Chains A and B, each alone.
Chain A
Amino acid sequence: MSPRTTLAVARRVLTQVRRDHRTLAMLLVLPTLLMTLLWWMYQDAGPQFDRLGPALLAIFPFIVMFLVTSVTTLRERSSGTLERLLAMPMGRLDFLLGYAVAFGVVAAAQSAIAVGVSVGLLRLELTGSVWLLAVVAVVDAVLGTALGLFVSAFAQTEFQAVQFMPAVVVPQILLCGLLVPRDDMPDVLGAVSDVLPLSYAVDAMSHLGASASTGQVWRDLAVVAGFALAGLALGAATLRRRTA
């Protein structure tokens, strides 16, 4: 592993994102707009926004980074630049960590805006720490990046890569406890929910919304970070220097 090549990749990815104005605007603004829509929906429906808001702040960065990463790394595989990099002094983990760092930075900006607007303008009621909420959002984004990197190995086209979103992301959203509390699900689904990373991310966020204690949040955060690291390790295993 080399910090030099990791940072080189991260800088390059950020330069590419900056160059693509439309993508950059969507990355930064879209989650905030969706939070605003949610706030508007629940205008006359009581405290629902306070219940759902934190969970969605966990889900948005996860979805967005999953999509962006799976498509960009697929592009890197098909354009030949990945092969070129792997023929250079570039560790596979350096490559993946570079992506994780770059999209982590984007996620931090994205979450800062979404959390800032939600708490500052939309009056989202949080009992726990705003800072911790932002940290969880960033770790969720890194989780999305890690899973996106991993699944891009199984897609040959950008079409296929996008299809992984309903396959990998939607079940996690359905089972994360947002629609039906996890304890009220059939046992089998509850058990499945227990091994899906997004469940822990949403738990951490909901906890921050309702309570000022942080022990549970750190534990959930550690689980999400563990999944992200495992995703990166699996992703590294799919990068092969030699191909048929």
Chain B
Amino acid sequence: MMNSTIEVRGLTVVRGGRPVLTDLDLDVGPGVTGLLGPSGCGKSTLLRALVGVQRVAGGTVTVLGEEAGSAPLRDRVGYVTQAASVYDDLTVAENLRFFARVLGVDADAVERAIDAVDLAGHRDAVAGRLSGGQRSRVSLAVALLGAPDLLVLDEPTVGLDPVLRRDLWELFHGIAAGGATVLVSSHVMDEAERCDRLLLMREGRVLADDTPDAIKQRAGTTDVETAFLALVEAAA
């Protein structure tokens, strides 16, 4: 693929003496790609490797033509971890203003990010007093600040109410429509339908890499969850 945002070749990651990813090859292009698989299948480790914060045992990860985690990528890649990485003793606006200063973006970007995650009503609330879902939206807003070309989101919709979840998926598609690549992980299979492309993952391997429709068609099923089961049984 010529216009891949992410190119992974032979990626191997060992954590605590146990191989988590083994000789993984992967290409991800623009649009919204869902990384789906059960808890513990290596999704977070793969995302960490793409952002360049994971120590890897072998292979290469190229993002936007540069080595993952290298200096030119640091203001082009937005990353949201599973746990909200924000300062609990600062307000929503203070958190965003701080990260905006680090990224060198202006105050307008702060307001846009707060609006994008629908937290304008809580901008002066201390992050530690917000609900879990609100805190994770603050964390998401931080990742949106620099208008990144690649947005890597580790389970951003866990525990959110359905309306908000729908709004966030609309936001992801809006960002992708601007030409960016959005990679979203989830262990909830019903989020699969919202993605342009899917990566189904299990035990450190990619079982399928295609559009949701193509995956269902090939497995002869009507939903992604059943397709996933069929793929696991076929691989066994």
Contact = CB atoms under 8 A, between A and B. Distances in A.
Interface of A: 4-5, 7-9, 11-12, 15-16, 19-20, 79-81, 83-90, 241-244
A88 B81 contact: no
Interface of B is mostly: loop
Contacts of B56: 242
Given A83-B53, A242-B54, A16 B79 contact: no
B169 interface: no
Interface in B7-62: 15-16, 51-56
Contacts of A89: 71, 74-75, 102-104
Contacts of B3: none
A9 B77 CA distance: 21
B90 A88 contact: no
Interface string B82-94: 0111111110001
Interface of B: 15-16, 51-56, 69, 71, 74-75, 77, 79, 81, 83-90, 94, 98-99, 101-104, 126, 142
B30 to A, nearest CB: 21
Given A4-B104, A8-B98, A15-B94, A88 B89 contact: no
Nearest to A19: B89
Contacts of B55: 242-244
26 contacts: A4-B101, A4-B104, A5-B102, A15-B94, A19-B89, A19-B126, A20-B89, A79-B83, A79-B88, A80-B83, A80-B84, A81-B86, A85-B102, A86-B53, A88-B103, A89-B71, A89-B103, A89-B104, A90-B102, A241-B52, A242-B53, A242-B54, A242-B55, A243-B54, A243-B55, A244-B15
Contact of B52 (A4, A9, A19, A242): A242
Contact of B81 (A19, A83, A244): A83
A5 B94 CA distance: 15
A85 B56 CA distance: 20
Contact of B53 (A12, A16, A79, A241): A241
A233 B33 CA distance: 41
B90 A16 contact: yes
Nearest to B76: A89
Given A241-B52, A241-B53, A241-B69, A8 B86 contact: no
Given A16-B90, A19-B126, 11 more contacts: A9-B102, A12-B87, A16-B89, A19-B89, A83-B81, A84-B79, A84-B142, A87-B69, A242-B56, A243-B54, A243-B55
A86 B86 CA distance: 14
B81 A84 contact: yes
A238 B56 CA distance: 18
A11 B101 CA distance: 10
B79 A5 contact: no
Nearest to B80: A84
Contacts of A85: 102
Contacts of B75: 88-89
Contacts of A8: 98, 101-102
Given A81-B85, A83-B81, A242-B52, A88 B74 contact: yes
Nearest to B73: A87
